[in-house]
Amino acid sequence: MDAEEFRRRGKEMVDYVADYLEKIEERPVYPDVEPGYLRQLIPTEAPEEPESYEDVMRDVERVIMPGVTHWHSPNFFAYFPTATSYPSMLADILCGAIGCIGFSWAASPACTELETVMMDWLGKMLKLPDCFLAGTDGHGGGVIQSTASEATLVALLAARCKAVKRVQSINPELSEAEIFSKLVAYTSEQAHSSVERAGLIGGVMMKQVPTDYNYSLRGTLLQKMIEEDKAAGLVPFFLCATLGTTSCCSFDNLQELGPICNEQNMWMHVDAAYAGSSFICPEFRPLLNGIELADSFNFNPHKWLLINFDCSAMWVKKRTDIIGAFKLEPFYLKHDNQESGLITDYRHWQIPLGRRFRSLKMWFVFRTYGIKKMQDLIRKHVALAKEFESLVRADKRFEICAEVVLGLVCFRIKGSNELNQALLKRITKSREIHLVPCQLSGQFVLRFCICARLTESHHVQKAWQHITQLTFELLQEPIN
């Protein structure tokens, strides 16, 4: 395909995309396919000779679309949102065309520098303490990771490296492996599975601390566990606190946890993957209080800030901590400017080497929306969640299972887990809306999360009618 054909096909694709998103409601939100459906629809090998582009596009509707879960349908209320917006998609097209790999400053200076400045812009939107910003002479700074899981892992590895150095400076006779075996990290029992996984990858113990009645991690229980572990000869070195847990969007108490971590020389990483976007609204910013006590902070603009996946924003107070954990300097990546102190080689901040020009998406979205219109989206979603909460509360057959703070409502039929499982099964099967469950205090709970940019009140009302209709039918019949 040459540039001329690309001009034509690209414009057709833009129309296809606009059509898809404008009419997405007409498609069932959850696909009606069985595992293995796709393999039978296409050949077993790639063609020797080129096929026509028309054939490929025809197959998008025949092969792909029937198997897509439509995350941007206004009837999608599952998991957490994944963000999208037209300016973000436009920036991504440009990113694909420039197609530079930004592992070092020299590999494409604009790619590195725009990222640093965009992370400062975003940090200021959240009113992050200055110590997290790069500015022109700061010690902190931001980096775009691919996902929150990677940010957690990077923070844990930086903390591990720092802890090993600290322990070795006191006990030079200890080997790295011996120190690893004594290191212990903590997170709440409500934390995302990727935190436990970071411990697994890093080869260190990761303990889950119980939460309070609000599913919030509190200082007392952490303190108690630390004391016990220290008495047993272990070395506490890392806490991953969560703001907005995946199960029920609960918030750990940073103001209690922070001072403990600081006193114990423990790294505090704060994961606000979903909730973080809301902190651009002054009324939600108090949820971030205590962040000044943290060593690193992360949230996903690709969840709720109109920027298409992937764009996970991570800040550290001391960039030397994070760089120190990874820095290796091969000859073929050395360049003239790297010792100037002014430049950033982002490959030292992350697990992969290569990286896309993702900050273009931030730049396009922040400027074409402006802070106010981004706040509008957050507020609209929270209001819709509150609206759904009221509907649930007004129906005595149901109960709300966790405080509704942002866009997530956890609810269930008052009754057995089996009953609620049966309800979810019917919801999934009907394919009119899509939800996923969680488990809270041993109970099977339904999660209703406002996800799509274009979800409106009437979608929420219709979803509730649908849920109550299925509940009505379910309660008429014996469960099997």
Question: Rounded distance, CA 451 to CA 456, Å?
Answer: 11
By beta-carbon proximity to a second copy, the closer residue of 44 and 480 is 44
Q: Which amino acid is at 102?
A: G
Say if CB 301 and CB 307 are below 8 A apart.
yes
Q: How far is the CB of 181 from a second copy (least distance, A)?
A: 3
By beta-carbon proximity to a second copy, the closer residue of 4 and 477 is 4
By beta-carbon proximity to a second copy, the closer residue of 310 and 395 is 310
Look up residue 103 and give its two tokens: 């592992």
Q: How far is the CB of 227 from a second copy (least distance, A)?
A: 22
Question: Rounded distance, CA 320 to CA 334, Å?
Answer: 18
By beta-carbon proximity to a second copy, the closer residue of 181 and 461 is 181
Q: How far is the CB of 45 from a second copy (least distance, A)?
A: 5
Question: Rounded distance, CA 70 to CA 450, Å?
Answer: 14
By beta-carbon proximity to a second copy, the closer residue of 213 and 332 is 332
By beta-carbon proximity to a second copy, the closer residue of 236 and 258 is 236
Burial of 193 (0-12, 13-18, 19+ CB in 10 A): exposed
Q: How far is the CB of 256 from a second copy (least distance, A)?
A: 26
Question: Rounded distance, CA 139 to CA 424, Å?
Answer: 49
Q: How far is the CB of 186 from a second copy (least distance, A)?
A: 17
Burial of 207 (0-12, 13-18, 19+ CB in 10 A): middle
By beta-carbon proximity to a second copy, the closer residue of 254 and 322 is 322
Directed axis angle between helix 254-263 and helix 219-231, to 10°?
20
User: Which residues on adjacent β-strands are paired with residue 84?
Assistant: none
By beta-carbon proximity to a second copy, the closer residue of 246 and 455 is 246
Q: How far is the CB of 394 from a second copy (least distance, A)?
A: 26
Question: Rounded distance, CA 255 to CA 449, Å?
Answer: 27
Look up residue 171 and give its two tokens: 């006990």
Q: How far is the CB of 180 from a second copy (least distance, A)?
A: 5
Say if CB 306 and CB 369 are below 8 A apart.
yes
Residue of 221, 232, 349 whose CA lies nearest to 241: 221
Q: How far is the CB of 164 from a second copy (least distance, A)?
A: 10
Q: How far is the CB of 193 from a second copy (least distance, A)?
A: 4
Look up residue 358 and give its two tokens: 């993702």
Say if CB 365 and CB 305 are below 8 A apart.
yes
Instruction: Give the CA count within 13 Å in the CB-facing half-sphere of 388.
Output: 35
Question: Rounded distance, CA 423 to CA 303, Å?
Answer: 27
By beta-carbon proximity to a second copy, the closer residue of 326 and 466 is 326
Q: How far is the CB of 7 from a second copy (least distance, A)?
A: 5
Burial of 156 (0-12, 13-18, 19+ CB in 10 A): buried
By beta-carbon proximity to a second copy, the closer residue of 114 and 385 is 114
Say if CB 241 and CB 225 are below 8 A apart.
no
